[in-house]
Amino acid sequence: MRRLLLTLGGAAALAVPAAAAAASHQTAFIPNDPLLSHQWYLAQTKAFDFWPQIPALPTVRVAVVDSGLDGGHPEFAHRVLASKSFVGGSPLSDSKGHGTFVAGEIAAAANNGQGIAGIAFPAQLLIAKVVGSDGSIPLTAEANAIRWAADRGARVINLSLAGLRDPLNPRRDSYSSLEAAAIRYAYRKGTLVVAAAGNADQAPRTPWNFAGYPAALPHVLGVSALTIAGDVPSFSNRDVLYDDISAPGSEIFSALPRALTASRPSCPDQGYSNCGSTEFRHAEGTSFSAPMVTAAAALVLAYKPALHPDQVAWILERAATDMTGATGCRACPTGRDRLSGWGRLDVNAALIKATAGPIPRGDTREPDDDAGWEASRALGARGRVLATIDYWDDPVDVYGLHLRRGQRLSVSVSSAEGVSSNLLLWKPGTIRVGDQSPENLRRRVAQSAHSGPVQNIRGYEAPVERPRRRRRRPPRRSRFPVGARLRRRCVPRA
Q: Which residues are catalytic?
A: 66, 98, 287
SS3 471: coil
> Which bin fits 340, alpha (ψ -120 to 50), beta or left (φ > 0)?
alpha
In angstroms, the Cα distances linking 224 to 118, 175, 181 are 20, 19, 23
Q: Do 344 and 230 touch, CB atoms closer than 8 A?
A: yes
Cα–Cα distance measured from residue 126 to residue 153, given in angstroms and rounded to the nearest whole number: 9
Cα–Cα distance measured from residue 100 to residue 121, given in angstroms and rounded to the nearest whole number: 16
Residue type, position 275, single letter: C
Interior/surface letters 378-402, b for 16+ CB within 10 angstroms, e for the rest = bbeeeeebebbbbbbbbbbbbbbbb
Cα–Cα distance measured from residue 33 to residue 117, given in angstroms and rounded to the nearest whole number: 6
Cα–Cα distance measured from residue 318 to residue 489, given in angstroms and rounded to the nearest whole number: 14
Q: Do 156 and 149 touch, CB atoms closer than 8 A?
A: no
> Which bin fits 219, alpha (ψ -120 to 50), beta or left (φ > 0)?
left
Beta bridge partners of 222: 195
